[in-house]
Structure 1
């Protein structure tokens, strides 16, 4: 088993993370050297607390006192920078958690741009349909042909597909066997359209799908579903790196899929 940091390092980390005032003191000293009385004016802490924080930072050689003022050392600056980066990453993780928790196998090579909270729409108890509503809006806004992967079938998505086909949009669509079964039982018209319409090519993946993905001419929309196939979050991007990644993902899923007509033919022969 790999060895981790020794106890002293953990204690130093615990010291820094023990209160927001400790970070605030270091952040103020990054701006300029200061006396304890100066820090009392800018940090929400008593003079006694400030003195204790400075003593702890001095012990760890993150700050030094010169001419009555405390200032950051080089190592103190580095510790502060890394801690600031860690807090930013934790904040990002909290925001992107609803997406990250439901990505399945594609999470390993997910582009960093899709982990930007500004690209994200998440559902919540207050607005459980936020993600699916935004996904639907995204589909209504498509420019050019569409390639899509979906582990669910809904009347909303079927209605969007009808609208797109009426405008001459070509759709390549990857589904799984559970979507095919539900389409056969509940959406027979949509299933028939998937076979007969000249502008849609539907493929059935050989294993259950666990993501939703859509690409148009230049944009990508990634949807994450929970265990009940509810859309929990979507991420949107028009970054070139994301688009290239999404094309690779779509091609990989399509390569493991069979044309809908072939799958239906096999099913009919078995009956």
Structure 2
């Protein structure tokens, strides 16, 4: 326990001030003297001396001929801190997306978080993600495959417009979306169910995230518990595209085609 407390104290020391990381990083670039560090980092000499004393106490740096230089473990601490800093920075940026995707996104490729375009709805721009998703749908190229846990008039209108052209749509929804469509968008549901260019599947369990894939692009869509669109991550072909395609196919495999569901209901009704 004492060892753990000592390690925790070392972590607190390094993370307690951005100046400490800056000093260690500067020394990893090249050995330096306190006055050189003062001019580069813009802190007082007293602060620099305290930081260097803390590093020497932990054997992260040593002093040689007036210069301070990192030890091999000091370099490793600096490298791992940089990795942690990058990961926490990424977490802050993508938190609004990750918080609303549910467990189905646990294997979302990290590289996609670096290369994808992220749009988040937040205070001051509460409809930003919705507007961007609407734009994405309006620019669909070729055929589209999608999973959606919600139904809404704007999405239905864009879908009808796509079906008026050559676009083929394969769509996975859950039973809640199906019932909402029956109650509020009956004509739209009938259009999709009867249209030769559209296939609807009903997933056996409630859906928690949305994905959409066309011939060249994909997007991942996150909704809150009130079905408000909170964030959208989009990209061209690549890791995110492959992942979104796999998510769609996995959900489709666990779904029942709507026409088969209707046939079963009609059979029961005729008995």
Q: TM-score range by the shorter chain?
A: over 0.9
- Tell me which residue corresponds to 1:167: 165
Alignment counterpart, residue 66 of structure 1, candidates 47, 64, 69: 64
- Structure 2 regions of 5+ residues with no counterpart? none
- Structure 1 regions of 5+ residues with no counterpart? none
Q: Is the 8 A contact 2:115 2:235 kept in 1?
A: no
Q: Is the 8 A contact 2:223 2:229 kept in 1?
A: yes
How far the C-alpha of 1:118 sits from its partner, in A, is 5.0
Q: Distance in 2 between matches of 1:174 and 1:207?
A: 11
How far the C-alpha of 1:31 sits from its partner, in A, is 2.6
Deviation larger for 13-22 or 246-255: 246-255
Q: Distance in 1 between matches of 2:149 and 2:116?
A: 25
Q: Is the 8 A contact 1:92 1:117 kept in 2?
A: no
How far the C-alpha of 1:5 sits from its partner, in A, is 6.7
How far the C-alpha of 1:40 sits from its partner, in A, is 1.5
Q: Does 1:223 align with 2:225?
A: no
How far the C-alpha of 1:270 sits from its partner, in A, is 5.3
Q: Does 1:158 align with 2:156?
A: yes
Q: Does 1:258 align with 2:256?
A: yes
Q: Distance in 2 between matches of 1:5 and 1:250?
A: 48
Q: Is the 8 A contact 2:147 2:173 kept in 1?
A: yes
Q: Does 1:102 align with 2:100?
A: yes
Aligned length: 269
1:208-219 pair list within 5 angstroms: 208-219=206-217
How far the C-alpha of 1:21 sits from its partner, in A, is 1.1
1:22-41 pair list within 5 angstroms: 22-41=20-39
Q: Is the 8 A contact 1:203 1:257 kept in 2?
A: yes
Q: Secondary structure at the match of 2:243?
A: helix
Q: Does 1:131 align with 2:137?
A: no
How far the C-alpha of 1:126 sits from its partner, in A, is 1.0
Alignment counterpart, residue 53 of structure 1, candidates 51, 54, 62: 51
How far the C-alpha of 1:266 sits from its partner, in A, is 3.6
Q: Distance in 2 between matches of 1:259 and 1:174?
A: 9
Q: Does 1:204 align with 2:208?
A: no
Q: TM-score, normalised by structure 1?
A: 0.93
Q: Is the 8 A contact 1:113 1:237 kept in 2?
A: no
Deviation larger for 165-174 or 37-46: 37-46
Q: What do residues 36-83 of structure 1 show as CA deviations (whole Å, max 9, x unaligned)?
A: 111121223221111110001011111111111111222111111111
Q: How large is the RMSD of aligned CA atoms in angstroms? A: 1.8
